[in-house]
Amino acid sequence: MTDTGADVLKTRLTSVIPAEADGFTVRVGIGPYPPDKPRSRKRAVYAELTPRSAHAKGLMLAVNRDRVLGMVPLTDSGAAEIAAEPGGVNAERAATTALREALRLVRG
């Protein structure tokens, strides 16, 4: 599981992913890739899960994490396209893949 102290979600993707999944609050956006390199010119779509339900908090306590970050690295053209159309088909596809990755990390 990836956990960085920095907020990597620089540009939020709106209306493409539910606000909650499996007891976790979901935030999806574009940020630097890798997440620990804030000045990187490469970008990725991230799905950040923070526990909301008691069950989700228990899962995070078991692995000593505050959040889980699923990511999908982007090509330069893909990042530009998603930034230009954050509610578009490609943004939705990348966000869904990032969310799926984050949930896979949670479920182990």
Q: Which of 55, 54, 50, 59 is nearest to 25 (CA)?
A: 50
pLDDT at position 47, please?
93
Position 6 scores a pLDDT of 47
pTM recorded for the entire structure: 0.82
Residue partners of 70: CB distance under 8 A and separation at least 6: 46, 47, 49, 98, 99, 100, 101, 102, 103, 104, 105
pLDDT tens digit sequence for 19-75: 888 899 999 889 999 999 999 999 999 999 999 999 999 999 988 999 999 999 999
What lies within 8 Å, CB to CB, of 50 at 6+ separation is 24, 25, 27, 66, 67
Output the pLDDT for position 8.
Answer: 59
Please provide residue 2's backbone torsions phi and psi, each rounded to the nearest 5 degrees: -100, 135
pLDDT in tens, 83-92: 898 888 899 9
CB contact at 8 A, 28 and 47? yes
On whether the CB atoms of residues 49 and 24 are closer than 8 A, the answer is yes
